[in-house]
Amino acid sequence: MDEDDDRTDGERGRWRLAWPTFRGSSVGWGVLTVLWVVNALVLVSGMVSEGWRAWGVAVLVFLALGAAVCVVGTISTIRRPRQGPRW
């Protein structure tokens, strides 16, 4: 047993969810968001004219999830920007 371990017995070995760390530029995340949303809109416009298919809905859900991740990345990098290099 580690003496430096200050956790109680109830907390030992538990998995904890942690908010993901987004790196990069908020502009880059914003551009990715726009690309995901534009692809989703193009797919929706095609599906409205051609008809809704199961694969189209699955791809649309995938595109919506990708756009949501990019929105979270944009907000995260705006709220906690990386430090620039020190000269």
DSSP string, 2-49: -SS----GGGTT-----PPPP-S-HHHHHHHHHHHHHHHHHHHHHHHH
Cα separation of 50 and 42, whole Å? Answer: 12
What per-residue confidence (pLDDT) applies to 65?
95
Digits of tens for pLDDT over the chain (87 positions)? 555 555 555 556 677 777 667 888 889 999 999 999 999 999 999 999 888 899 999 999 999 999 999 999 999 888 887 776 777
pTM for the predicted model, two decimal places: 0.69
